[in-house]
Structure 1
């Protein structure tokens, strides 16, 4: 039976629908008499029927809504007095006072960085009597993978970096404490109390870490592990480096 055909004419009768005889079941019984009466109570009653397909949102509308949400979020930050990157640059927040470019000032920062890295890496305290060199080298090589993964997420402010290789030969051998890291540069303070900026692109840096956390038994002659940092693969901010890879080369210095 065609359910979409016009309803049969009603011969001079006016239909009256009451709560005991609602419209839908009455219509089904009248137009579809071959369907059992239980069909309405089991399949239709108290069910939500979708009479037409809902319209799909266009790609332009979705993009407009996303843009509106971003604008709203930016306005909320502005109301909360959160300073953005552009505003910080305009106010000179990242400008470094060259009068503070003193190795003595940032040496304690480097010592704090070593303590921070020992905590990040989970290095143990230095034992009173060091094990044999072969045992130290074996333990380091076994844990290089874990060290590399943690280094990727570490903060390098306070690290002493040395330029090992560079397209600009005049920069090779340069050394300094990192006072500001950006996506493409290391800003360092040298031993000569100078502020220099080393680009990461085309440059290979090296830095070292003590193998033991600071302790009363620590000495300057304690073994250290050295890494080569390839600037081309490290041109990211600290928060963006978690999923990146960089190639370490470890050596043991006793």
Structure 2
């Protein structure tokens, strides 16, 4: 231990010059560290390098800020359920608004929508138009009941103002609203002289669900 202490002890003053030794390795490392921090760190942080090295460690990496736990987590607002919608009469149209002429602009928008959906009806094949109509939204379309198990519905024509899972609600030119069940009914839709027959049994779902459904080619449905 005594010999090891003598080996690692500092050299006597004046002996470094005679031996050609530049100085102790620790002093060189200290000078290098201070110069590096002065050139690289002090320009950005404007800190006292000597004070930082003496009193505390310098963190050169990014530290994520702490979360504010006092802030309350915002809950996502829930929509109305079916019972609340019925109580608030969301789907009911006021009697003063049940006028045929008020829905004519909606019919014009629907006609333009179908033209863009089918890419122009004049140059489209009947099969292509039929496939597009089955998945289309019919709000604003002028539809007619051509066949039904209930003879009272046959011949009713009007603008579709509301579509539900099981029924169509249309308004006629006489400003009367009619509720037509989809099941066991055949409807006709006319756009630019093109007449298409649609079976209500295939439409027994909401319009949003129908747009993503894949329909299989089946035969006609006898009524």
Range of TM-score over shorter length = 0.5 to 0.7
Structure 1 residue 86 corresponds to structure 2 residue 94: no
Structure ID, larger Rg: 2
Seen in structure 2, the aligned counterparts of structure 1 residues 239 and 170 have a Cα distance that, compared at 3 Å, is same
Query: Is the contact between residue 227 and residue 248 of structure 1 (CA under 8 Å) also seen in structure 2?
Result: no
Task: Name the counterpart of 2:171.
Answer: 189
Tell me by how many angstroms 1:189 deviates: 0.6
* Deviation digits for residues 166-193 of structure 1 (CA, Å, limit 9, x no counterpart): 1221221110100000111110010100
Seen in structure 2, the aligned counterparts of structure 1 residues 87 and 209 have a Cα distance that, compared at 3 Å, is same
Structure 2 counterparts to residues 99-114 of structure 1, below 5 A:
99-114=96-111
**Secondary structure at the residue paired with 1:88?**
helix
Q: Tell me the distance in 1 between the aligned counterparts of 2:217 and 2:80.
A: 32
Counterpart of 2:201 (choices 232, 238, 241) is 232
Q: Tell me the distance in 1 between the aligned counterparts of 2:74 and 2:88.
A: 18
Counterpart of 1:202 (choices 184, 187, 200) is 184
**Secondary structure at the residue paired with 1:187?**
strand
Unpaired runs of 5+ residues, structure 1, are 1-75, 125-135, 211-223, 250-254
Task: Name the counterpart of 2:7.
Answer: none
Unpaired runs of 5+ residues, structure 2, are 1-72
Q: Tell me the distance in 2 between the aligned counterparts of 1:160 and 1:174.
A: 11
Q: Tell me the distance in 2 between the aligned counterparts of 1:179 and 1:237.
A: 14
TM-score when scaled to structure 2? 0.58
Seen in structure 2, the aligned counterparts of structure 1 residues 78 and 153 have a Cα distance that, compared at 3 Å, is farther
TM-score when scaled to structure 1? 0.52
Would you say how many aligned residue pairs link Structure 1 and Structure 2? 146
> Once superposed, which parts of structure 1, at least 4 consecutive aligned residues long, lie more than 3 Å away?
76-79, 245-249
Q: Tell me the distance in 1 between the aligned counterparts of 2:84 and 2:180.
A: 25
Query: Is the contact between residue 228 and residue 248 of structure 1 (CA under 8 Å) also seen in structure 2?
Result: no
